Amino acid sequence: MAEVEALKAIALIEAEVEFKNALTQTEKLRAQNLRKPPSTTKSRCESLPHDVTVFNTVHEQTGMNPSGWMSAITDGSQ
Quick one: pLDDT at residue 77?
Answer: 46
- pTM score, whole prediction: 0.43
pLDDT, block means (10 residues), the chain with 78 residues: 90 92 91 73 60 68 63 50
d(CA 28, CA 51): 37
How far, in whole angstroms, is CA 13 from its chain's centroid? 33
Position 35 scores a pLDDT of: 77
Structural domain boundaries of the chain? 1-36, 39-78
Q: What is the pLDDT of residue 14?
A: 92
Cβ-contact 64, 58 below 8 angstroms: yes
Convert the pLDDT of each residue in 34-52 to its tens digit: 777 666 555 555 656 666 6
The predicted structure's pLDDT at residue 7: 92
Q: In whole angstroms, give the CA distance from residue 31 to residue 26.
A: 9
